Amino acid sequence: MSNPQTMQIQEISAHSGPVPGQGTQRAAKVCKYIDVTTCIGCKACEVACVEWNDHPFRETSFDNTYQTMASTEWNYWNLIKFVEHERDGNFMWLMRKDQCMHCEDPGCLRACPADGAIIKYQNGIVDFQQENCIGCGYCISGCPFDIPKFNPQTKKVFKCTLCSDRVGQGLEPACIKACPTGCLHFGTKQEMVQIARARVSQLQTESGFANAGVYDPPSIGGTHVIYVLHDVTQPELYGGLPANPVIPPSYTVWKWLAKPMGLIMAGLGVLAVFFHRVTVGPKLPQPEPVITEHPDEAESDRRETP
């Protein structure tokens, strides 16, 4: 499952050549499973993320909740969203660990114009390669989860890597290792979906959460981070998780169809004017018509310039 072989590159942003090593090995898809219903909001995952990725502790912001800051930042990739919710007259916490969802069809990668700035491994991890990033920020608008964040100092974009450096060495992501309640799991997509489904039926039959379900949105081909929610019909409740996340059509239709078409048209345009010159020829300045007394010459002149 989580061994170096799964780190074969599967997709490269804005890449015109073949993808190296694609399809040479059968690679298992990895997945992080987050059981929102057993999260206690301890923030151990937040700290583990900051520690492993060697981020400095940054300023927090207080807005009358337990949430560390308003949203993830370029150097704060893992954030538990705290939502105070009322259900059947009773108060309840909705605590969702927010980070990159590692979409099967990543909007950031679709939007990226820089060759090799975003890659997707065969195991499903979507990773940014900052040395190739040009800082245009298109990935920010391509992401349906508002995850990539711009660092104005380096003019590069950063986000959760699903600890690709750890996964590549056969370790689980840092957040998983730190979680004390066991609400975080890591394994193959198949296994994680299985465990999540079992938890859902438990929630439905034993805990009275009839709408409990697995959040694995098919609109972007599923994600490599899945949630179990108390109420999967209202994902927006959990700090703005989109019910139907989509990549802007301009990044798929326009980029992969219309852009090559435009280039081909431009190339044909250049060829067209070249062959116009070769076939129809130039318009040369015409000499001044000669005014003459002899009708014959005037006639011939008229024939030349009808």
Where does this chain touch other proteins (CB under 8 A) — which range of 13-21, 182-190, 200-208, 237-245?
A: 13-21
Alpha helices in the chain (DSSP H): 44-52, 107-111, 138-142, 164-167, 174-178, 189-206, 249, 259-279, 295-304
Compute the distance between CA of residue 66 and CA of residue 82 in angstroms, rounded to an integer.
6
Kindly tell me the sign of the dihedral angle through the C-alpha atoms of 225, 231, 232, 234: negative
| 92 vs 253, beta carbon nearer other proteins | 253
- Within residues 134-193, the interface with other proteins by CB under 8 A covers 134-138, 140-142, 146, 150, 155
**What's the residue count for the chain?**
306
Q: Residue holding tokens 């929630």? A: 203
Residue 274 carries which side chain, given as an amino acid letter?
A: F
CB-based contact 188:6 (threshold 8 Å): no
Draw the binding track, 239-258, toward other proteins (x: CB under 8 A; -: no contact).
Answer: ---------xxxx--x---x
Return the SS3 of 53: coil
Compute the distance between CA of residue 76 and CA of residue 98 in angstroms, rounded to an integer.
11
Q: Which of 2, 7, 15, 31 binds other proteins (CB under 8 A)?
A: 15
| 4 vs 260, beta carbon nearer other proteins | 260
| 218 vs 262, beta carbon nearer other proteins | 262
| 215 vs 251, beta carbon nearer other proteins | 251
Q: Which of 18, 91, 206, 273 binds other proteins (CB under 8 A)?
A: 273
Residue 236 interacting with other proteins (CB under 8 A): no
Q: Which of 4, 21, 180, 269 binds other proteins (CB under 8 A)?
A: 269
Least separation in angstroms between residue 142's CB and other proteins is 8
Q: Which of 84, 180, 265, 300 binds other proteins (CB under 8 A)?
A: 265
Compute the distance between CA of residue 155 and CA of residue 157 in angstroms, rounded to an integer.
7
Residue 282 interacting with other proteins (CB under 8 A): yes
Where does this chain touch other proteins (CB under 8 A) — which range of 51-59, 160-168, 201-209, 281-289?
A: 281-289
Draw the binding track, 97-136, toward other proteins (x: CB under 8 A; -: no contact).
Answer: ----------------xxx-x--------------xxxxx
DSSP state at residue 20:
T
| Binding residue count for other proteins, defined by CB under 8 A | 48
Least separation in angstroms between residue 22's CB and other proteins is 16
- Of the candidates 72, 107, 81, 118, which has an alpha carbon nearest to the alpha carbon of residue 219? 107
CB-based contact 6:122 (threshold 8 Å): yes
| 15 vs 166, beta carbon nearer other proteins | 15
Residue 284 interacting with other proteins (CB under 8 A): yes
DSSP state at residue 234:
-
Beta carbons within 8 Å of 211's beta carbon, 6+ residues apart:
230, 231, 232, 233, 234
Compute the distance between CA of residue 204 and CA of residue 191 in angstroms, rounded to an integer.
20
Look up residue 107 and give its two tokens: 């909007």
Where does this chain touch other proteins (CB under 8 A) — which range of 83-91, 94-102, 209-217, 270-278?
A: 270-278
Q: Which positions lie near other proteins, rule CB under 8 A?
A: 14-16, 113-115, 117, 132-138, 140-142, 146, 150, 155, 248-251, 254, 258-260, 262-263, 265-266, 269-270, 273, 276-277, 280-288, 305-306
